[in-house]
Structure 1
């Protein structure tokens, strides 16, 4: 089974959250609706600004662990490579 690594943000260069899931649409929906208790709900972090698909969930988990260790500027550069305006990618994943 595959998996996804994703990054949510509250606004451009604001607070971010990195997560991993096997169902990106479901998980982002949970964050957007406040169904996921914790950091994202408390800080109103709802915008999907980056995601990667992996063939195996283990690879996605490993990548998430790696990204969480990155410096903030590296994470921002990663997001800006594919999404320079930090726009919400929700509409792209629900098509």
Structure 2
């Protein structure tokens, strides 16, 4: 036996794992804020392209649907925004 308390040893790993996970979540959140979602990235909602009136209108439509708890309307706005971005903003 090494003389260490297994419960203390396990608790140390749990705290380390929580800290590591927290750092990974913070990093993912920072990346999400910096990198806009592309029209093919379905893991997060698309962001309107600055200066585009169609993107802005669809973003507002999505915000209204979200505020009204209309998940179907929110999803529809996301689909329309992605379609618009594929057609108009693909370089």
Give TM class, smaller chain: under 0.3
User: Which protein has the larger Cα radius of gyration, Structure 1 or Structure 2?
Assistant: 2
**TM-score w.r.t. structure 1 length?**
0.25
RCO (CA 8 Å, sep 6+): is it higher in 1 or 2? 1
Query: More helix per residue: 1 or 2?
Result: 2
Query: More strand per residue: 1 or 2?
Result: 1
**TM-score w.r.t. structure 2 length?**
0.25
